[in-house]
Structure 1
């Protein structure tokens, strides 16, 4: 592999790592809030991942705006452009919506966690 090929591979690896970290934060905030607000978080999580992101996100272009998977792909593609990936949402949408998922659902989860009481707690 030439020096240029290694440099692009390293850049791609760093792009994947950075975009994955953003996606992990967005998914974690979303699924934590989902688990605290519903009685069936696993079922709703599977519906979101399999139906919304897996099926509808790849068929209906409008649903991509609410798909963390597409944000991660777009961020990776912009950090390290490659023929392997094709970002389907714009960069501003990917950045803003990742922040909305993370910043929007984290306080919601925190607020919900404050209402829980620990077994054996005396107050």
Structure 2
């Protein structure tokens, strides 16, 4: 079973979004294992969407720097409020994996909100 999903985005600040699908996994352990192509990532970061772990709040989106070797720099995290376009895209990713919703931290009303946005 997939615990996380990576999707590239066309953004001047970010290379992509990592959506965490399993609220029980260690996010740090999963992020440590990932490597990205850095030829086009100069100065850009990656977004991690934690909505299924934390819900719709200020802790949903975290950004990380990426090293020259393509690894996520774990001590570089910062909570962010991304653009509406990125939020809509992140929501569409989660909707594709709706089978994870019943086992998430999202209440029924929050799940409905996800499908209405």
TM-score of the pair, normalised by structure 1: 0.25
**Which is greater in Rg?**
1
TM-score of the pair, normalised by structure 2: 0.26
Bigger share in strand: 2
Bigger share in helix: 1
